[in-house]
């Protein structure tokens, strides 16, 4: 079996596989760690493996390489990019900063190494509120996701957040009317939404949180049926892990195509042939590392 071959190669090469919760669920069979961005970033920093295979999207593999420059990092499929991360480049970031001088910049982990290299601190959807609060300033710039940034603003008092106009195309497929219809159909079922969703969707939800926070809430709640307003991979894992509960995906097309590029065959091939290695220019890496390390320090 392919899974057995992958496990054999992992052992031979002292390799680990990190798998994001939005990946195809069969990847969990060979992943050493499965979780959201902050958890996988922490595991990348802690692992003593020589090789990291990051079953996620490109910016995640870049982040692992920045954190662990002496390890070899591979992306199973080089088509696994992030449309949100691609919405801002270094030139656009510098223009954004120039229009809002002397204001600290928080960048979502869904950004390139180049963008991280010129931001003050990084965040994930799990820790964004904590990160912004830790700066203890009246105003911050937030990029690239305007919806996460504005949601964080609603969670804090006396902090103005000026956001770059980026977004997640997958989460923006979820409309307020989808939430209203789901609540009418399942009136006693809580709606759990990701903060990358539209602001009106978050207002209608019963709980707003990151991938891991949504999964934790669903697993620990006494409720038996949940409406899930985030990527389908979360529903797949909740159905597998909580068979006594029912999980309803808010609509069928909430799938991130880039996250689904990676396959078991891709993981096998990069482990066997050591192709698709991810590199980050040293100067960029050093600057971006400070941005990421400040996040990891606050998140301890």
- DSSP label at residue 157: S
List, for residues 235-276, the tens digit of each pLDDT value. Answer: 999 999 999 999 999 999 999 999 999 999 999 999 999 999
Task: Identify whether 144 is part of a domain.
Answer: yes
**pLDDT confidence of residue 29:** 96
Inter-CA distances, 90 with 68, 94, 253, Å: 23, 6, 32
At 250 the three-state DSSP class reads coil
Q: What is the CATH number of the domain that holds 190?
A: 3.40.50.10800
Comparing CA positions, the residue from 63, 60, 143, 38 lying closest to residue 95 is: 143
Same domain, yes or no, for 92 and 157?
yes
| Average pLDDT score, the chain | 96
Quote the number of domains for the chain: 3
**pLDDT confidence of residue 295:** 93
Strand arrangement of the beta sheet that strand 191-193 belongs to: 207-208, 191-193, 225-229, 246-249
**Cα 191 to Cα 264: distance, rounded to the nearest angstrom:** 32
Task: Identify whether 293 is part of a domain.
Answer: no
Same domain, yes or no, for 113 and 93?
yes
Same domain, yes or no, for 109 and 143?
yes
At 161 the three-state DSSP class reads strand
List, for residues 19-55, the tens digit of each pLDDT value. Answer: 999 999 999 999 999 998 878 888 988 999 999 999 9
Task: Say which residues have a Cβ less than 8 Å from residue 15's Cβ, sequence separation at least 6.
Answer: 9, 49, 50, 51, 52, 53, 271
pLDDT over 90 (residue 105) = yes
Same domain, yes or no, for 185 and 242?
yes
Task: Identify whether 295 is part of a domain.
Answer: no
Mean pLDDT of 100-111: 96
List, for residues 148-190, the tens digit of each pLDDT value. Answer: 999 999 999 999 999 999 999 999 999 999 999 999 999 999 9
Domain boundary among 143, 163, 183: 163
Same domain, yes or no, for 77 and 89?
no
Task: Identify whether 300 is part of a domain.
Answer: no
Same domain, yes or no, for 9 and 66?
yes
Same domain, yes or no, for 245 and 264?
no
Domain that holds residue 103: 85-163
Same domain, yes or no, for 111 and 60?
no
**pLDDT confidence of residue 232:** 96
Res. 129 pLDDT band, cuts 50 70 90? very high
Same domain, yes or no, for 125 and 188?
no
Same domain, yes or no, for 120 and 137?
yes
Task: Identify whether 118 is part of a domain.
Answer: yes
Task: Identify whether 288 is part of a domain.
Answer: no
**pLDDT confidence of residue 220:** 97
């Amino acid at each position: 079996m392919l899974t057995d071959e992958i496990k054999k190669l992992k052992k031979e090469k002292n390799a680990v596989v990190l798998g994001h919760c939005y990946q195809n669920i069969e990847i969990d069979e060979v992943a050493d760690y499965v979780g959201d961005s902050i958890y996988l970033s922490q595991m990348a920093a802690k692992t003593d493996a020589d090789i990291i295979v990051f079953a996620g999207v490109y910016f995640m593999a870049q982040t692992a390489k920045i954190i662990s420059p002496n390890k070899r990092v591979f992306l199973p499929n080089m088509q696994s990019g992030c449309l949100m991360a691609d919405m801002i480049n270094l030139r656009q970031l510098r223009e954004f900063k120039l229009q809002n001088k002397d204001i600290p910049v928080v960048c979502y982990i869904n950004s390139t190494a180049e963008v991280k290299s010129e931001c003050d601190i990084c965040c994930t959807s799990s820790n964004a509120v904590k990160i912004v609060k830790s700066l203890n300033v009246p105003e911050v710039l937030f990029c690239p996701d305007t919806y996460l940034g504005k949601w964080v603003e609603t969670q804090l008092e006396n902090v103005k957040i000026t956001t770059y106009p980026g977004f997640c195309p997958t989460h923006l497929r979820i409309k307020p009317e989808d939430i209203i219809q789901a609540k009418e159909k399942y009136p006693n079922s809580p709606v759990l939404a990701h903060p990358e969703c539209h602001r009106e969707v978050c207002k209608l939800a019963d709980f707003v949180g990151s991938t891991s926070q949504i999964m934790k809430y669903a697993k620990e709640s006494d409720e038996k049926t949940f409406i899930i307003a985030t990527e389908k991979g979360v529903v797949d894992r909740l159905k597998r892990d909580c068979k006594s509960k029912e999980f309803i995906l808010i609509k069928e097309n909430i799938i991130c195509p880039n996250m689904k590029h990676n396959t078991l065959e891709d993981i096998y091939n990069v482990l066997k042939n050591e192709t698709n290695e991810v590199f980050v220019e040293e100067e960029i890496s050093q600057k971006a590392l400070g941005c990421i390390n400040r996040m990891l320090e606050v998140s301890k």
